[in-house]
Structures are given as structure tokens and as C-alpha cells.
Amino acid sequence: MSFLRNYGETDFITGLRAIAALMVVCIHTGGFSDLGWVGQNITGAGKYGVQVFFVISGFTIAATWTSSGSYREFLVRRMARIAPAYWAIIAIAAILYHAGLTPTPFFLTEFGMEIGVYNLLMHVTFLSFLDYRIANSILGVEWTIPIEVFWYIVLPLLLSRVTALRTFLVWLAILLVLAALTRLVFGVVAESVAAKWFPTTFGAYFLLGAACYRMRDGGWYKVSPMAGAVLWGSVAMFILVLLSPLPGGGALIGLATAGILLARKDSVGGGLWLDSVPLRFLGTISYSIYLWHLLVIALLGNAVAEGTLRFGLVAVITVGLSTVTYIVVERPTNRWGRQAAEKIRG
């Protein structure tokens, strides 16, 4: 079995995952902040790696849902993909914290909480988004995982109602209004981060990714004379957001990601861009990179100042740990998930 994830004509999406993961590592290490204003802009834009992941996740949810025989089969496949590595690294982080080997996570101190039974139970059940005080209190990036699980549960039900462009636009508008209301309500009754860590804030990104899957599955990118313009316009927008501190950068990079998903030509066994072997390798282990990197930063402490050296060191160590996690945890449990789904299908 090949180490690299193989998705055939959409292998380039694995390369996009690599870029998203490196963006997140970049901002948390100070990335290129020591290389002038361009480096500082690229580093600051690293926070938008989350939006890239969410749009890709919507695409993947739609693809998995389309190929599944039932809702139960779909959930088994998706949960086997996301839960085991998350549980393992959360457990490791809790052990290191209680052993005094890592400092107290920032938001644990900010909200006066502990990594105790309640906190761990909410994380293990993917319900931590219900209490902003512990939603991001162990790894420092885990707030996104319950959001993904929430949309694993909800998006397939929504997709059964999205049957045409008109209904897509209606539901997109509904999700955008819901996101605005979420920010408004949480801004009044809770900390501002509560809205950021709540699933309804990001629903539009998931729906956008799912719409890209349906259009791509219908062959739009093969027949539309606009496909080339959409692709390169999206690439240009992605790069512009990285280089310039534009307002609405998260939404712009989400749209750029969607454009690439929609219009990029088939992957055909490698290339010089997103489906190249190095990016596919990093994309294959990108989930573990995302989960591990802040823990690696915590273990390093202040040994290396923020900047390119810290980014490189953290990236190398994280890639090593993530490779092990992928081999020992992700690949076996992914395989189990596929086998369990096949049994459900009968």
C-alpha cells in the first residue's frame, strides 16, 4: 500500500491540505516575520489556513456522502478518519501537562479552567464548542475539530435539499445570516472567541466546498470556457491574500480555495504544483501536523526565537511526529473505518 493518500484525479487537493497545514504552522511560529513586510504579511495570513481546511472538508463530506450507501456508513467513515488521531494527541497533551513537561495552555489560564474530567469528556465527545472556556484549552488548535464533526452530522442532511443553484444560493444566504447572528449573540452574552469557536460561524465554507464537489463531479471544469480564468483568478486571489493584509481575508481565501477545487484540471500522476510528491506527502500527514505543531512549540519553549529558524525547526519535528502518527494511528484506523463501512453496506 502506498504511503501517500491516493485520490486519483483530485490528488491536488492533498497538496492544498499541505499548504493549509503549513500556513497554520507559520503563524504559530512567527514563520517569516523576520523577513520584512512581505514575510510578516505571509505569516499573518497563516490564520486563514483554517478556512482552506473547512472548504476542503465540505468538498470531502459531499464526496464521501455521495459514495456512501447510508448515513450510518458515512458517519463511520468520517469519524474513523478524524477521531483516533485527535483522541491520541489530546491524551498525550493532557499527560504532558499534568507531568509538568509543558506550560499551561494560554486559554486554560485565560478562562481559569483545568484539564480535568469535564474538559476531557467534552473534548472526547466533540462537544467542547458548547463551552468556550474549554473549547481551545488543551492543544490550542482543537477548536476546529468539533466544528468539523458538527458539519459531518449536519451537512449531508442539508445536501439532500440543495438540488440546484437556486437552492444553493438560498441556503448559502441562510448560513451567512446564521454566522452573523452567531457573532452578534455571542458578542453580547459571551467572550468574542465564543463565536469564533462555534460551528454555525463557518457553515458557509462547508457548503461552498460541497457545491464545488457537485459542480466538479458534473464535469464543469472540463467543458466551461471560464474554467481557466476561474482557476488562475483563484490562484492570484490566494497569493494576494498571502501578500497583502486585505480586509475579509478569510472569506477571500475561502473563495480562492473553492475556485481551485472547482476549476483545477485532473491530477495525472504527479506534476510541478499541487499534485507533486512533496506536497502530497505533507498533505497526507497534514491532519497530524495540524494537531501536533503547537504541542511541539510548547515543548521547545523559548529555545528558538520566532521567525524562519523556529518555523523550520518546528516543521521538521512536527513532520517526523506526524509521520509516526499517520503510520501507527491514522492509516490503520482509516482502514478499519473503510472495512466497517463495507460491512454496514453489506
End-to-end Cα spacing for the chain: 24
- Kindly report the number of other CB atoms within 10 A of residue 106's CB atom: 12
Is pLDDT above 60 for 1?
A: no
Alpha-carbon distance 213 to 93, whole Å?
35
Mean pLDDT of 75-93: 97
Mean pLDDT of 288-311: 94
Mean pLDDT for the chain overall: 93
- From the CA atom positions of the chain, what is the Rg in Å? 20
- CA dist 177 to 56, 170, 182, 183, 252, Å? 22, 11, 9, 10, 18
- What pLDDT, on the 0 to 100 scale, is given for residue 270? 46
Lowest mean pLDDT among 97-101, 188-192, 246-250, 255-259: 188-192
Lowest mean pLDDT among 87-96, 141-150, 236-245, 265-274: 265-274
CB 132 within 8 Å of CB 191:
yes
Alpha-carbon distance 24 to 142, whole Å?
12
**The CA-based dihedral angle spanning residues 54, 152, 5, 232, taken in that order and rounded to the nearest 10 degrees:** -30
Indicate the pLDDT class of residue 64, thresholds 50, 70 and 90: very high
| pLDDT tens readout for residues 130-160 | 999 999 999 999 999 999 999 999 999 999 8
Is pLDDT above 50 for 80?
A: yes
- What pLDDT, on the 0 to 100 scale, is given for residue 7? 82
Mean pLDDT of 204-214: 97
- What pLDDT, on the 0 to 100 scale, is given for residue 272? 58
| pLDDT tens readout for residues 265-275 | 887 644 558 88
Q: Is 222 helix (H, G, I), strand (E, B) or coil?
A: helix
